[in-house]
Structure formats: C-alpha cells, structure tokens
Chains A and B, each alone.
Chain A
Amino acid sequence: MSVETYTPQAFHRQAHDALGNPQIRANFRQAMDGLMGKRRDAFGDWDVETLRELGANIRLRALAKLPDLLEQLEAKCQANGIKVHWAEDGEQACEIIRGLCEARGAKRVIKGKSMVSEEMHLNAHLEAAGIEALESDLGEYLVQLNEQTPSHIIMPAIHLNTDEISDLMHAKTGTERTRDVDYLTAAARQQLRERFMAADVGISGVNFAVAETGTLCLVENEGNGRMTTTVPPVHIAVTGIEKVVEHLRDVAPLYALLTRSATGQHVTTYFNMISGPRKPEEHDGPEEVHLVLVDNGRSAIYQDDELLDTLRCIRCGACMNHCPVYTRVGGHTYGTTYPGPIGSILMPHLQGLEATKDLPSASSLCGACGEVCPVKIPIPDLLVRLRKEAVGEGRGNVAGAGAKRNRSEVLAWKGFQWLATHPGAWRASTGIAGKLRALTPAKLGPWTDYRTAPKPAATSLHALVKRHRRDAKQEGKS
C-alpha cells in the first residue's frame, strides 16, 4: 500500500483517482449503505424530529452562553482538581501538551481517539520532540500503522478492507495472514495492553464538557478511552472550545442522538464521565488530569450569525455517511482532517478558502446531510454561503474570501444578468443562437467528458409559445 499525502488543493485530482479505484469505491459504498440502514433502524421507535429539535436547542443554548460557560467549566474543573489550559491555535495546543509531557519526563504517550488532536497534528509534533504517540483506538491504530490519516471521523480505517488490514498487521506486527476478525482484534488487544502499561501519559478527546459540574464525557465502544484515561499516571484531554454544554442533563439527549446518528447504535458500550484526578483514598486513575481548550479558528466562526451553526456539530459523521459525494470519493480525497459535508463547512475556517475553495462545491446540494444532522445544522445553506464567500460575493469574513473569484466568470454572470433583464436583447440573442446552432462546439471542457454538449434549440421556447398562441387564436376564429 502506498503512502500518499492528500491536500484540499488537489481535491479534483484526488477525486478523479478515487473514482477510478474500484476497491475504494466498493469499501465506502458497502460501509455507507450499512451505516445509513443502521441509523434508520436505531431511530425506529423515536420521535426523531422532536429529539433533533432538542439537540439543536441544547447546542444553541450552549453557544449563546459560550464565554460564560467556558469560564464556568474552567472554574468547576479547577475546583475538581483538573488543570485547564487555553490554546489559540493548534500549534499552541501542541506546545502546551509537549510541555506537560516533558514536565513529567514522559517518552511514551498513548492516545484515545481525538479529532482535535488530528486537526492540530499532535502526533507529528510530539514525535519531533522525541515523544512517541501511539493511537489505541483500533481503527486509529491501523491507520497509524499504515502511515495514513483517518478517512472518516468515527471509523478511521473504513477505507481498508479485511484483507488489506490482515496484510498490514502481518507486515508491521508479524500476525498471521487471515480474514478472522476475532483473531486480528485479539492480536491488537495484546499488542496494545503492553503499551497501556508502559505509557507515561494518556491523551484523549472530549465529546461533551459539562460546565455545571466540570465533567469530561467520552463516548466509546472499545474501552481504549477508559484505558487511556485510567491507566497512565497523567491524563490530558484536548477539545475544541465549542464542545461545552451547560448542564449535566444536556448530555442525555445529545448522547442519544450521537450514537444513533453515528453508527446506528442505541447506545455505546461505554459512556465515561471524568470529573477529576484520583483522590487520595482512591486506588486507580491518573494523578493529574489536564484539559486543553483549543480555539483554532472557532472564535472566528463564532462572530457570524449564519456561520455560527457550524459550531453546533457533535461530530457524529452522519452527514458523510449520507453524502453521495463522500460515498463515491472517500474520506482521503478531501485532503483535510474532517472530510465530507461537515469538513466542507468547517475546514475553510481552519485552513482558509485559498486552500479549501473546492470543498464547498464538492456537493450536489441534495440536502441529505442537513436532513440527518442530529443538531439540525443547515449544512446545504452553509455550503452555499461558503461558495459565495469563495467567489467574493459573501460578507468577506471568512479567511481567504474571494480566493476563487475569476474575472471571466464574473463578466459572464454580469452579462447574463444584463441579458436576462433586457427582454429585447434576450430575444435577439436567443434568436441568433438558434440560427447559429450548427456552430456549437462538440467539446465543452469537463462537461462533455461524460455528456453530449447541449445545443440551442432551432426555435426558442419564447418563439414557440408565441407561435402556439397565434395558432390557437386563428383556430378560434375559423
């Protein structure tokens, strides 16, 4: 398997390559079909719309009070013995975490799944400082063994099939080649248990941070999250500032929405709620717990009433599972930490529109993402907004706004606008187009790669209607 670096700038080439790769297409098609079915079944006996409404309102309430809730979260965590750190960007967050590791003389870090840590390239940062960072979520572990990045935010190794994983584990860890998933899982369990015991620091993400109680909630099935947050002597949790919720009761509906939307499970195996380090009388758990709050572009998104909705996201991945584009091109094609519809509305803020200008257009605007979003983010509207920003027709408050602006495109639209609002000129030009239709080129760029070129009609609709009316009038007379 080749190791490739994907970038959002090369989206079109990467999409072309992925579309021509039957293995990738089959892996994603099968996985996404399964996930869509499971989600449908999981909400079977629920009033989904009412639950989504509640989820959206809980997230909106948290965002409305965001600065206050962050302060409350900090105060509560500190009172519980959790040390709180703030980072303006990924680089700062990485520095904070490296500093915490070095203060403990830590050389070995074990990680639970955290997309924020992917977003800030934490593993590479730690490795450059001589600290080994090992992923313990099975999918993340496989992706790391394969020197890749996750292709899905919930199922990181969804792009690999069993044979590929068997070959990978055989090559990197010496296991037998087999399609026996129980054997492969047991082998990984054994390999990682040694690493949990040897780890100096455990790093995890956070699904919900509760301001009211200073509680960090982690949702998982494998138990690696519990291991990561319980076995090493230090636990560092890293999260985006938008993950805070106001009350403990708020997590019940969000958790119900998250598991059903993500993998179609009515519940995950573990819901792990951490409210502090090990107390003197307790016999296990970390001596130190740290919470790193990462902004990394989020406070900029927060400024704009429409873009704000992006921050409601609870990272379930349902939008990508239901996206016809994602299903066909796979996660790596996007070249960003978060792929699919959520990535297309989030990454432009994190990386700027210069780098990501093709992502908001990587959608047919079919609307499936918005319909399944558990917190009702109007993803299609946000895609349209970012398309406008990309061509310089928005509010201009997204980094790199106007990056996709093209003089001839602007002129073409201006010309069309003028024609469409001047009936005489419009009729004259459609008349001429009809007469010259034989001159229409057969090739019109990428459009005609898979389609025949459109030809102006010999007689325009306008002219046909006029003729029809005239004929009808004469029939009436005779």
Chain B
Amino acid sequence: MSARDTILGRLRERLDGPLAAPACDFSVVTGRGWSHEERLRRFEDKIASVHGEVIHTDHAAWIEALISMLADKDIKRLGLGREHPIAQEARTALADSGIELTDADRDIESWQREQFDSLEAGLTSTRGGIAETGSLWLWPTSDEPRRLSLVPPLHIAVLDADAIEDTFFDVVERHDWAGNMPTNALLISGPSKTADIEQTLAYGVHGPRELVILVRH
C-alpha cells in the first residue's frame, strides 16, 4: 500500500469514530465600519509603525512625488514593468531624468546577477491596502514579477487611497480570492526585518531595507 493510502486509511478508520465539524462565526474579523478617513489613518499608523514610509499625493501629482523621492534617496537604477499604467507614466516622466530604467518583464535567468547586485529600487503597483494591519496586497504579474518587490533594497509601491479596505478577511471575500488565486499572492507590511539577534529589530535582512508607499488620493 502506498504511503498516501496508509495515511488516509488511518485517518478514515479513526479509533474514536467520526468527528463533528463546529460552525465558525467570522464576525470578529469583519464589519469594522470605518470611514474613509479612519481607514486611511489606521493604514498609515500601522504601516508607519513597522517603518513603512507613506507619502500622500494625488493622481495628478504622484509622478512629481516619485521623482523628488528618487532624488532624495539618490536612486540611479530603477526596475519597473512596462504595461501597467503606473509603469507607463513613470517611464514617460523619467525618460530624460538620468535615472536608468531597468525592464522587469524579462526572464530572470538573463539578469539575475544584475537584479541582485545593481538594481537600487523596484517600482510596483498594488491591488489594494488593508487598514487594520497596514498591509499592501499584490498579485505579481509577468509585467511586475514577484522579485521586483523583494530583491532591490528599496521597494516603491503605488497605492490608491480608495483601494484601502478594512480587514484581510474583507479583501479575501470581496475580491473572491478563492476563485482567482494567482501563482503568488502577497501581503507586504513594511520593509524586510528581523529580531533574531537578541530581539533587536533590524531592517533589510533579506528583502528591501526601505518601503515607500505613494498613496494617491
């Protein structure tokens, strides 16, 4: 008999007989009823508490906010997609900026070393935000692959203020994640961190050292 059949057989022929499944009441993880302002405030409080840097801007001015932030941080090489409107707008605006734009929509095998060693920042869109935990949710695509938000030392995420919802449960339910799961779905809440050395918090252990969120109102 295969290991599979042995294990399943043991579980099915349970000594103490079949088990009853209890009902689950999910109301404790939903129904917050926060206003738009309250959501925004909570989102910012939570993500700032784990070193996420929020920059408020709007749909007209976000590119200027991006440019001045890149200048402040002295970023010379930025990785980004090509198809997403955010990437398109950024490409147009940064064309003559002196910042080298690196295509992220390439098979990683052709630029692994480059991505690890010389990419200074990655720009991505986000699907939305979660107020309760100060989280961004991303479903990486072939245009903005998984590692764009992971390998470069700076991750710049663009979030629309209207796309912030109350809880993770609300997001999973309202956007029917169960019916649409992509290869990789991510919640990101701050830059990479560790407290493995005597509980002292240090940022940027494996992933980005900094996370900047451009919130577009």
Contact = CB atoms under 8 A, between A and B. Distances in A.
Q: B-side binding surface: helix, strand, loop or mixed?
A: loop
Contacts of A278: 183
A337 interface: no
A269 B190 contact: yes
A300 B191 CA distance: 42
Interface in A228-282: 230-231, 241, 247-253, 255-256, 263, 265-279, 281-282
Interface stretch (B57-65, B67-75, B85-93, B200-208): B200-208
A262 B204 CA distance: 21
A97 B202 CA distance: 33
A272 B207 contact: no
Contacts of B190: 269
B205 A222 contact: yes
A221 B197 contact: no
Nearest to B106: A283
Nearest to A93: B3
A276 B183 contact: yes
A10 interface: no
A224 B183 CA distance: 18
A343 B72 CA distance: 50
Interface string A80-98: 0000001110001000000
Contacts of B112: 197
Contact of A282 (B24, B28, B142, B192): B142
A270 B28 contact: no
Contacts of A276: 183
9 residue pairs, one from A and one from B, having the closest CB atoms: A223-B207, A139-B196, A267-B133, A223-B206, A303-B15, A271-B187, A252-B169, A64-B19, A223-B192
Chain B CB within 10 A, most for which of A51, A86, A184, A212: A86
A45 to B, nearest CB: 10
A110 to B, nearest CB: 11
A92 B3 contact: yes
Given A269-B188, A275-B183, A281-B142, A70 B8 contact: yes
A158 B142 CA distance: 40
B25 interface: yes
Chain B CB within 10 A, most for which of A63, A136, A222, A227: A222
Contact of B28 (A67, A253, A263): A253
A100 interface: no
A7 B175 CA distance: 49
Interface string B180-200: 011111111111111111111
B23 A222 contact: no
B28 to A, nearest CB: 5
Interface in B8-31: 8, 10-12, 14-16, 18-26, 28-29
Contacts, number: 256
B202 to A, nearest CB: 4
A200 to B, nearest CB: 14
B147 A263 contact: no
B167 A252 contact: yes
B99 to A, nearest CB: 22
B177 interface: yes
A252 B172 contact: yes
B142 A256 contact: no
B46 interface: yes
B6 interface: yes
Nearest to B169: A252
Interface size class of A (residues with CB under 8 A): 35 or more
Contacts of B146: 226, 230, 284-285
9 contacts: A67-B8, A181-B198, A181-B200, A222-B193, A222-B194, A252-B168, A267-B46, A270-B192, A293-B7
B16 A304 contact: yes
Interface of A: 27, 30-31, 34, 46-47, 50-51, 54, 57-58, 60-61, 63-67, 70-71, 74, 86-88, 92, 136-139, 142, 155-158, 160-162, 165, 181-182, 184-186, 188-189, 192-193, 196-197, 212-213, 215, 221-224, 226-227, 230-231, 241, 247-253, 255-256, 263, 265-279, 281-285, 293, 295, 299-300, 302-305, 308, 397
Nearest to A169: B197
A320 to B, nearest CB: 15
Contact of B22 (A61, A184, A247, A299): A61
A76 B30 CA distance: 27
A308 B19 CA distance: 10
Nearest to B11: A67
Nearest to A265: B50
B153 to A, nearest CB: 10
Given A193-B116, A253-B28, A303-B16, 9 more contacts: A46-B28, A58-B24, A70-B7, A157-B197, A249-B26, A267-B189, A275-B183, A281-B142, A303-B14
A360 to B, nearest CB: 21
Nearest to A263: B195
A299 B133 contact: no
B191 A60 contact: no
B96 interface: no
A86 B207 contact: no
A272 to B, nearest CB: 6
